[in-house]
Amino acid sequence: ILNVEQSPQSLHVQEGDSTNFTCSFPSSNFYALHWYRWETAKSPEALFVMTLNGDEKKKGRISATLNTKEGYSYLYIKGSQPEDSATYLCASLNYGGSQGNLIFGKGTKLSVKP
């Protein structure tokens, strides 16, 4: 059974703090790793799709790294702002699973206090 784990489950930081979360995923038959940002009462929004080992992607103050050999990805937020408050989901796509079966973690819920 393919499992994607995220930690921590929740995180409370002050405005201006930098923070990071972890996503661990099955490294065998890896195809792609997705990160999503899910704000309350909105749809999950794609942040990054990463496929290559060592890949690093950046969007504004948010960046992510990928290690496909050991099966983990980190999401970093630099200088957190209240509008960064959301649940951050990662999801793994592996060969051998059903086509299109993106396996999601339970997410890390980030709260940024002003």
Partner 1 sequence: SQTIHQWPATLVQPVGSPLSLECTVEGTSNPNLYWYRQAAGRGLQLLFYSVGIGQISSEVPQNLSASRPQDRQFILSSKKLLLSDSGFYLCAWSRGNYGYTFGSGTRLTVV
Asked if residue 46 binds partner 1 (CB under 8 A), the reply is yes
Asked if residue 51 binds partner 1 (CB under 8 A), the reply is yes
The 8-class DSSP code of residue 83 comes to G
Among 13, 49, 55, 78, binds partner 1 (CB under 8 A): 49
Q: Quick one: which segment of 12-20, 22-30, 53-61, 103-111 binds partner 1 (CB under 8 A)?
A: 103-111
Contact by Cβ (8 Å): 31, 17: no
Contacts of 95 (CB under 8 A, 6+ apart): 29, 30, 31
Looking at the Cβ atoms of 28 and 41, the one nearer to partner 1 is: 41
Among 43, 52, 83, 114, binds partner 1 (CB under 8 A): 43
On the question of a cis peptide bond just before residue 8, with omega within 30 degrees of 0, the verdict is: yes
